[in-house]
A and B are shown apart, each in its own frame.
Chain A
Amino acid sequence: GNSVTQMEGPVTLSEEAFLTINCTYTATGYPSLFWYVQYPGEGLQLLLKATKADDKGSNKGFEATYRKETTSFHLEKGSVQVSDSAVYFCALDSAQGGSEKLVFGKGMKLTVNP
């Protein structure tokens, strides 16, 4: 079945450091890919998405490119801030019984220190 594998962390960085969170996927067909972020005590927020190969999603300084040849969707940010401290989930959409469901990676907790 469809699955997502991502770095699990936890990871601690200093402010202004470069961030990469690796995400690879296994899927039949051409799924859409997503990064969701969960701040402490909150629900998930969609951070960015890409719906086809070579698409680049971007938001709040974060970027990820849909790479079909390497089945990857790595998340990057050039300079992290304390406010980026959160758990990051990579996900893909997967058809089941005529409906779509999200398949999540295990999540990676990021802590950014001043």
Chain B
Amino acid sequence: DTEVTQTPKHLVMGMTNKKSLKCEQHMGHRAMYWYKQKAKKPPELMFVYSYEKLSINESVPSRFSPECPNSSLLNLHLHALQPEDSALYLCASSLQDSYEQYFGPGTRLTVT
């Protein structure tokens, strides 16, 4: 298995909703990442987990809450989002946190 999977593929949520994005990999990678990508822009790093511990938080608002329950799974919990949070959310993983990253297909999030 050489891929990163993300669910759901699309998500529409209201500003008062709580939802979660899920990312999974079974490549034995020990670093996992969340990125946010707006249209026609490069991905922006949000969080890095290394060996299931949060190692980088790029000053992301608290309405985004990451969780790494085990080495294969990464979640992003969403609460009270704003319309400007609408974007493609990409998950990535790497063998360790200094190797090339493998990206999932992303979740396209729309906040109404």
Give chain A's interface residues, CB within 8 Å of chain B. Answer: 32, 34, 36, 42-46, 49, 89, 93, 95-102, 104-107, 109
Contacts and interface: CB of A to CB of B under 8 A. Distances in A.
Given A99-B97, A101-B56, A43 B31 contact: no
B45 A101 contact: yes
Interface residues of B, number: 25
Residue of A32, A34, A43 with most partner-chain B CB within 10 A? A43
Contacts, number: 54
Interface in B18-65: 31, 40-43, 45, 48, 50, 55-56
Contacts of B102: 46
A25 to B, nearest CB: 14
Interface secondary structure of A, over-half rule = strand
B42 A106 contact: yes
Given A43-B90, A49-B100, A89-B42, A99 B31 contact: yes
Contact of B100 (A34, A89, A105): A34
